Amino acid sequence: MHPNGRFLRDQNVRRYFKTLITEPDRAERARLSALLVAEEDRFASRRERLERVELLIRDAEARIVKLDRLFQDDDKRAPIADYAQVMASHTRTLGLLCDYRRLLVEAMERNRR
């Protein structure tokens, strides 16, 4: 893939994903998820995307564990409201990544039939 094409794809994917994270409406999140999959369909194989999202999921899980430990550290404890907000945001992001992974796996299974 040409470097400019890769850059544009990555920018579109980031934009869709960033919007997806903050979108409260379930139907709109589903639409954005479909756009995200379609954008990546144009440029990368599903296998490449699956590998990339699995790395992001592992990273998100590790970040949640690290943040939880940080918030539980008595010397550096943040207010509970901050803890709940930060953890909810990261958990929601992890859920979105898992949903995206599920969409990719389903698409790969459909193509095998």
Q: 30-86: per-residue pLDDT in tens?
A: 788 778 777 766 766 778 888 888 998 999 899 889 888 877 766 556 566 677 777
Which ranges constitute the DSSP H helices of the chain? Answer: 3-22, 26-43, 46-72, 80-112
Q: 90-101: per-residue pLDDT in tens?
A: 888 889 889 889
Q: Which two tokens stand for residue 94?
A: 């992890």
CB-based contact 60:90 (threshold 8 Å): yes
Name the residue among 42, 40, 19, 43 with its Cα closest to residue 31.
19
